[in-house]
Chain A
Amino acid sequence: MRTGAQCIIDGLQQAGVDRLFGIPGGTVLDIFELLYHAPIGFVLARHEQGAVHMADGYARASGLTGACIVTSGPGATNAVTGLATANMDGVPLVCIAGQVPSHMIGNDAFQEADTTGMTRGITKHNYLVRDVDELPRIMCEAFRLAADGKPGPVLIDVPKDIQRAQTAAVCDGKTGVRGSKPLPDCEAAVDALAEAIKRARKPVLFVGGGVIAGDAAAELQAVAQRARIPVTTTLMGLGAFPETDPLSLRMLGMHGSVAANRAVSACDLLISVGARFDDRVTGKIDQFAPNAVIAHIDIDPSAISKSVPVRIPVVGHVKTVLTRLLERLEPVTQREWLNEVAAWQKEYPFAYQNEDGKLASQYVIESVYHATDGKAAIVTDVGQHQMWAAHYYKYSQPRSFISSGGLGTMGFGLPAAIGAQFACPDRTVVLIAGDGSIQMNFQELVVAVEHRLPINVVVLNNGHLGMVRQWQEMFYRREYSATRLGQGERGKNERIVVHEKDRYLPDFVKLAEAHGAFATRVDAPEALPGALRDAIAADGPALVECMVKPEENVYPMVPPGASLIEMVHSMA
């Protein structure tokens, strides 16, 4: 006989979990009692949102399933943003939540929240365990579901009495364990796609995070090279195809490259691979790839034709589909189309003003690229710095760019970087953060300090909620309502009486030092390379606060509602 708590520990071990992120509380004490002796490294986060993002970063960096544990009520509500973030980006993780005892559910008991109700729409699946005999199977099933098919987060809500109850039930990992539904055979669809590629004059590969999740980057590269097809990726697809390769068009979409957006708009065959046609990517939907036959390879049947009508749907594992496709493709040596594309690439690289001697955000990213030989795992927060991290660092390996793409969660970066460093202890991990985002979940820096994780935190301090400020500048008459973080000048609606002009609020260097990390501030471009070198060499976490130009915009930009060819390059 085992207790429910023991079934949870055994289930975690059976699933191969070697790191568990979380925070204890009243309804998970029985589990923590056992964790004290279990061979699973526990990471005490300082906020449950941080714990879930850590498990998420761990999963994104490694391809394994992340695991975390939270208590009932406020523990579970704090975890919600983390789960929604993982759900939008299809990240496999399992979250164990404590719940009040079964007989008290629905009574507004102390620290009760309807956790399964709350998380139903933001998880791939969730469970409220009602019978301890089911717990072993649920543990197996949860890990299977999280990783199977299109991955996603799974939550298991376990009432305290269930954790203490005894059961003889075991799970062999098979009997009664459900998984993702079987996929139809894709042979005929692959034939049709191969035929379309043969006929196409102007094909483009449009690659999303599915290629990374499906471990199919090598197959994608082989297909692109054999048929000489240029490749553009979404934000989530960065790293699936080497951006240093001439076939790379870089990222497409609202802040995509001119070459990528023009190529998609001009192509006659658009082959989407594991991308979901997000509105930030397509621009005005009825003018997206207007001349193209659209083919869509995806593991998720419900992703097909969701927003754009697809002529050649191919439902299957991306890796399998691309492998079969490769067998059917004749090698192509040259294409007229590549010359057209190359001209755009040459004429419109990502570029910025750098002659004024001031520290530019874009220059900071380029410097990080050089300081890490383009081999780091880059983690980002959300905002302008996220886009610049996409533009000015060239990704050539999968799992090198870790960012909240779908939900756009500020505060994701620091805990995700911690999770990524736990997953890849030998990799250089660099977090690119904004001064706004880093203030959400800064508390997690302590975790990096106590575990001596050598993460490098680069804060682009522009004194603004920059991305929102950019929209106010471009579309809201330059009325900077609540987007200034600097102390000199604030929105009049904030009614701040005394402006603390000459103070840093917060002083990120002191703040990092107070958490026990190494920290420096950089004001001038010349000082940056040295500061980055020192940070990377530091034994433990280091923060480099970069005082960058306050009112830079991310260009090019497709204004909301416009088509991909209507790109804006400056405010002039």
Chain B
Amino acid sequence: MKHTITLNVDNQPGVLARIVGLISGRGYNIETLNVGPTQDPNVSRMTMQVPGDDRVLEQVTRQLAKLVDVRSVNDLTQRRFINRELLLIKVAAPRERRSEIMELVGLFEGKIIAVRSADMVIQVAGDRDKLHALLALLEPLGVLDLARTGGIAIETENHNGADDEE
């Protein structure tokens, strides 16, 4: 099962290596990984998606929690959360296909952020399924390059268990 794990960690050199080492040392592959600042300059937020056995990942999560630089760890897998990813994609776009592409991008609430004579760069944000669907439609047109941020996630459930989003 795929696990979405978020961590708040001290913004220190070596933290990333420590965390990645702990997970990859168990033979697990981190599928996506995102690190960014938070409102506290001393703290960074990491989000990662790791497919693997539930029991082992629970243990890995507990080991992560033990690391000195890790302030908190949350495995969101069994909870309500929103997961978003940003995709930048360069597709072949000869004049005659441009309108078709623009229509698709519009449908997916994306944006065309660069146009050149033979290609365009598209930006789309969304959950995994949405990005997959768009990619499947763009593939036949010729994907020249692609970059994805990997998911970032936030929990939506309040402490009382009620959710007020989505």
Contacts and interface: CB of A to CB of B under 8 A. Distances in A.
A121 B21 contact: yes
Question: Which DSSP category, helix, strand, loop or mixed, fits chain B's interface?
Answer: helix
Contacts, number: 32
Interface stretch (B11-19, B82-90, B136-144): B11-19
B68 A178 contact: yes
A306 B66 CA distance: 14
Give the interface size bracket for A toward B.
10 to 19
Contact of B66 (A117, A126, A302): A302
A107 B55 CA distance: 42
A518 to B, nearest CB: 46
Given A120-B17, A120-B18, A125 B62 contact: no
A431 to B, nearest CB: 34
Contact of A128 (B14, B21, B62, B65): B14
Given A125-B68, A145-B68, A301-B65, A306 B17 contact: no
A123 to B, nearest CB: 10
A474 B63 CA distance: 38
Interface in B30-82: 55, 59, 62-63, 65-68
A181 B59 contact: no
A503 B69 CA distance: 57
Contact of A300 (B21, B25, B66): B66
A116 interface: yes
- Secondary structure class of chain A's binding surface, majority of residues: mixed
Nearest to A306: B59
Contacts of A533: none
Nearest to B70: A181
A566 B85 CA distance: 54
Contact of B65 (A120, A121, A181, A304): A181
Contact of A302 (B25, B62, B68): B62
Contact of B59 (A116, A120, A178, A305): A305
A130 interface: yes
A116 B15 CA distance: 11
A302 B59 contact: yes
Nearest to A116: B14
Given A120-B14, A125-B67, 18 more contacts: A117-B17, A120-B17, A120-B18, A120-B21, A121-B21, A121-B25, A124-B68, A126-B14, A128-B14, A300-B66, A301-B66, A302-B59, A302-B62, A302-B63, A302-B66, A304-B62, A305-B55, A306-B59
Interface of B: 13-14, 17-18, 21, 25, 55, 59, 62-63, 65-68
22 contacts: A117-B17, A120-B14, A121-B21, A124-B68, A125-B67, A125-B68, A126-B14, A128-B14, A145-B68, A178-B68, A181-B65, A181-B66, A300-B66, A301-B66, A302-B59, A302-B62, A302-B63, A302-B65, A302-B66, A304-B62, A305-B59, A306-B59
